[in-house]
A and B are shown apart, each in its own frame.
Chain A
Amino acid sequence: DAGVIQSPRHEVTEMGQEVTLRCKPISGHDYLFWYRQTMMRGLELLIYFNNNVPIDDSGMPEDRFSAKMPNASFSTLKIQPSEPRDSAVYFCASRGAGNQPQHFGDGTRLSIL
């Protein structure tokens, strides 16, 4: 089975540009999570979806961040406009219902210059 697939793996862009990160969860998983990982803050939950519906977006740092899940097999995390402090590794994870482990993608390493 394919795991969680994220794209791109690396993104370097200039501040002010729009950035779109993509995630394909594991088929059949009900939950999808977006995390951000930095050395200073560790792994932070940004937002999560259940059955394509956003449940909790309290971790989204600012209005510049938005996330969508138009269907069960695709989600995007968008930053507009991007700032240097957004530089981090962004992970997507999915899991099934109940006491199930989360499956992570390999992340997108984002650098905003």
Chain B
Amino acid sequence: SQQGEEDPQALSIQEGENATMNCSYKTSINNLQWYRQNSGRGLVHLILIRSNEREKHSGRLRVTLDTSKKSSSLLITASRAADTASYFCATENSGNTPLVFGKGTRLSVIA
């Protein structure tokens, strides 16, 4: 069953703009992770944020986590056409349990 739910389902922006995707979940978590999936490929891990962390950066990626609202956001700054992909959030509810994935946000970056 899905725990994370991404919003929006699809997003289309111009190259150079920022892209923000949101994720909401239902139960307490150990950590939350974001993944990217290019067409025809497997998911690739982008960033992991632990439940006691509020913000994390990796290059052009910024992830926030609000455990009181059970939500997370992924911000991609200065987007590029190569960022076009589906983005998934996944939650790990406790140590060593499987990740539960949302249905993803399809991001299109138009050059």
Segment of B65-73, B76-84, B93-101 engaged in the interface with chain A = B93-101
Contact (A101, B45) CB under 8 Å given A42-B102, A43-B101:
yes
Please, which residue of chain B has its CB at the minimum distance from the CB of A102? B99
Give the interface size bracket for B toward A.
20 to 34
Q: Is B92 touching A42 in the complex (CB atoms < 8 A)?
A: no
| A102 CA / B42 CA spacing, docked (Å) | 11
In the complex, what's the smallest C-beta–C-beta distance from B1 to chain A, in angstroms? 9
| A101 CA / B40 CA spacing, docked (Å) | 20
- The DSSP consensus for interface residues of chain A is strand
Give the interface size bracket for A toward B.
20 to 34
Q: Is A99 touching B31 in the complex (CB atoms < 8 A)?
A: yes
Q: Which of B40, B44, B90, B95 contacts A98 (CB 8 A)?
A: B95
Q: Is B42 touching A99 in the complex (CB atoms < 8 A)?
A: no
Please, which residue of chain A has its CB at the minimum distance from the CB of B45? A101
Give a binary string over A76-113; 1 marks a CB under 8 Å from any B CB, 0 the rest.
00000000000000010100011101111111000000
Q: Is B42 touching A107 in the complex (CB atoms < 8 A)?
A: yes
Interface positions of B (Cβ within 8 A of A): 2, 30-31, 33, 35, 40-45, 48, 50, 88, 90, 92, 95-96, 98-104
